[in-house]
Amino acid sequence: MPNQEGLETIREMVSRNPAVKIIAVSGSGRDGGMDYLRIAEAFGAVSTLQKPFGPEDLLRLVRQTQAAAAQ
């Protein structure tokens, strides 16, 4: 991202709209992929996905996130 790191974006989005549902995706990141995704969850991401993944993995996670939001 050109002007902002993903974690900063998550924090800003959650501060503007606490109900936002964020799925964080990472292949690595500064601190390594798993640490980055763990931090993303701490900052407000509702789900995470580690690269590499297939389209079916993303669709499953989006559907799960939508179903949880509807409850």
Cα 71–Cα 12–Cα 44 angle in degrees, nearest 5? 40
What's the pTM?
0.81
What is the chain's mean pLDDT, rounded? 88
CA quadruple 28, 35, 63, 51: dihedral, nearest 10: 20
CATH number for domain 6-70, candidates 3.50.30.30, 3.40.50.2300, 3.40.605.10, 3.40.50.150: 3.40.50.2300
The predicted pLDDT at position 29 comes to 55
d(CA 34, CA 12): 21
Least confident of 5-14, 31-40, 54-63: 31-40
Residue-range domain boundaries for the chain: 6-70
pLDDT band at 3 (very low <50, low <70, confident <90, very high): confident
